[in-house]
């Protein structure tokens, strides 16, 4: 599902005007890319965002880590069977530390992998929306409506009515 490469960008200095525009544009059936300086639940609600699947990466990574820790400690101990203090070669209570640490390590690294894969980081190819404004990391919210050229005027009207400070049109 790739979004249209053309569209209109609205710059919103206020959160409520931005969410208003999001709701109205979605009702018109436009696909949106929303920029915000900080994560806001209002934006997510307006967009109807679903739960992120990053958690599956975390769970899988953590389980892989537990298994890897168990396997590494057990196999390495059997490969070089060295009796220390008369304890059994495979001593699970002692190995639990290794299992735990690798659970955390692989869980964390695969969470990051999940973030990078799902969030499409780092951005190497063309960006999701062709237009961006540096003020989106400072104080402004941005709503980019992916629209065909013949519907630009509809989008511009909705953005202006919602209270956009500046509407930029992609004329490439």
Partner 1 sequence: MQTVTRSVFHPHVESYEQVNRDSMRLLTKPGKGYVALLAMAVSLVGLLVFAELHNIIFGLGMVGENWAVLITTFVFWVGIGHAGTLISAILYLFRAPWRQAVYRFAEAMTVFAVLTAALFPLLHIGRPWFFYWLLPLPSQRGIWPNFRSPLLWDVFAVTTYLTVSSVFFYIGLIPDIAAARDATTDPIRKRIYGVLALGWRGTDREWRHFTRAYLFLAALATPLVLSVHSVVSWDFAVSIVPGWHTTIFAPYFVAGAILSGVAMVVTLMVPVHRIFRLGAYFTPLHYDRLAKLLLLTSCIVGYAYAMEYFMAYYSGELYERDVFWDRVTGDYWWAGWSMITFNAILPQLLWIKKIRQNLNAFFIITIFVNIGMWYERFVIIAPSLSHSYEPWKFWNIHMTWVDASLLLGSFGWFFMWFLLFLRFLPGLSIAEIKEVLPPPMRNHGAHHHAHDEHEMTTETLPTGYREREVR
Taking residues 82 to 121 in sequence order and writing x for each that binds partner 1 by CB under 8 A, - otherwise, the string is x-x--x---x--xx-xx-xxx-xx-xxx-xx-xx--xxxx
With contacts defined by CB under 8 A, name the span among 23-31, 52-60, 153-161 that binds partner 1.
52-60
Tell me if 67 sits within 8 A of 107, measured CB to CB. Answer: no
* For partner 1, the closer CB: 27 or 150: 27
Which class for 167: exposed (0-12), middle (13-18), buried (19 or more C-beta within 10 A)? middle
Dig out the tokens for 41 from the structure. Answer: 């639940």
Q: Can you tell me the distance from the alpha carbon of 160 to that of 10, in angstroms, rounded to the nearest whole number?
A: 8
Closest CA to 165 of 143, 150, 138: 143
| Interacting residue ranges for partner 1, rule: CB under 8 A | 13-17, 32-44, 47, 49, 51-52, 54-55, 58, 62, 72-73, 76-77, 79-80, 82, 84, 87, 91, 94-95, 97-98, 100-102, 104-105, 107-109, 111-112, 114-115, 118-124, 127-129, 132, 134-139, 163
């Amino acid at each position: 599902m790739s979004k249209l490469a053309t569209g209109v960008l609205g710059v919103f200095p206020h959160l409520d005007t931005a969410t208003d525009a999001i709701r109205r544009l979605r009702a018109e059936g436009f696909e949106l890319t929303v920029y915000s300086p900080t994560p806001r639940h209002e934006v997510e609600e307006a967009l109807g965002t679903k739960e992120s699947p990053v958690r599956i990466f975390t769970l899988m990574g953590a389980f892989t880590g537990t298994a890897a820790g168990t396997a590494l400690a057990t196999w390495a101990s059997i490969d070089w069977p060295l009796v220390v203090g008369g304890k059994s070669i495979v001593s699970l209570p002692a190995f639990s530390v290794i299992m735990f640490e690798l659970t955390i390590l692989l869980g964390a690294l695969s969470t990051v992998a999940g973030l990078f894969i799902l969030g499409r980081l780092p951005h190497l190819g063309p960006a999701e929306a062709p237009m961006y404004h540096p003020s989106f990391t400072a104080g402004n919210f941005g709503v980019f409506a992916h629209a065909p050229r013949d519907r630009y005027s509809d989008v511009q009207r909705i953005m202006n009515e919602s209270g956009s400070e500046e509407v930029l049109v992609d004329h490439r």
